[in-house]
Copies of this chain bind each other. A is one copy, B any other.
């Protein structure tokens, strides 16, 4: 297992206890010194824990006791609720300092989450030219490349020598989000090429930047979707990708560390969608931070849509009601047949939706998928039917005719469910929609209807109802 993580976790827990004791005795400086044993990420976690265990005031006191340079890093890592509380509590001068020292992309992240009145309060303290830049950045839609990028990149002149370039990096490097890739622009800010720091380091210092820059680099447009951006990072394995506007002017860069968060967000969104939860606000708020009403709103649509679908299921049953009451024992197998149909269908759908998301399955594979699922359905259906035949005859003591009805229905249901479950996502994809939007519950309820129809058809056929 993860020795180090366990170690850090244990250390943090021990420190948390110590700090809580210190705070009880109003020993604020000891508490702070205890905090300072950790790095900024861990300190922010501890501060969140402290406000949970005691109250936000303690967190604010400790935050203000942190050395200034560390406090900025810690601030960037705190939850937006805590950020708001801190901003409301500290002096304008302190706000000033934090705003000035935050990395540009952290600043944007912070501002995006804060309420409008606080944003205004912060923007007031920002120099005019930066205020304009911040406003541009804040206006990019939440899920596009523009919202992920930072303008803190290093740009070089194509006519510089490697020596001059390295000198330049030495001077401005500290403020850049990454110094590992440098960008060469023309006078109109159009991107000409990129040079990695490693190329600079291993080149002789007289070489012209012009001669070592790469010109067939990969780039993104500011309005590209963040999912496509993360695809490119995965495909090419870069540490940073430049972002250009429609005139091919360099406006910022995206670094790989921000992509890790995007990937987690996108996976969460897919998982939620597949299971019938819609995130209307596209928020990256966590489960616990969302209000009860927001949760209800995210979950109701599919439940309501599916309830309407169940009207048809009800109609299928009502149609068969008279005959069903003659052999009432058939009712006992309905949940199993519908449930198994739903489960097999959503298994197939899950694999196909995920395959599409990871670009492994394409719409042109539809016939391959059909043929594969048909065979899987026959294998799985046959095994389930065989097991089931034993159950119905031996365990339930039903007649072989009833067992045959249930089991032949089972086989057909599994085959159809596999086909429905695999085909619907591919068809949705062909219509240029996100296959994850057709949630698994929806596929289950289509399988439900098919399952009931097949069951009653087999019953009519084999039992002469």
Contact = CB atoms under 8 A, between A and B. Distances in A.
Interface footprint category on A = 35 or more
A365 B49 CA distance: 13
A252 interface: no
A212 interface: no
B352 A287 contact: yes
Interface stretch (A57-65, A117-125, A132-140, A256-264): A256-264
A153 B219 CA distance: 28
Contacts of A287: 351-352, 354-355, 360-361, 369
B343 A332 contact: no
Nearest to A232: B5
A120 to B, nearest CB: 29
The residue among A286, A310, A318, A344 with the most chain B CB atoms within 10 A of its own CB is: A310
A222 to B, nearest CB: 10
Interface string A208-243: 000000001011110111001011111111110000
Interface string A372-404: 100110011001100110010001100000000
A428 interface: no
B340 A310 contact: yes
B343 A314 contact: no
Interface in A55-107: none
A201 interface: yes
A236 B355 CA distance: 30
Interface string A292-309: 110110011011101100
Contacts of A376: 292, 295-296, 299
A311 interface: yes
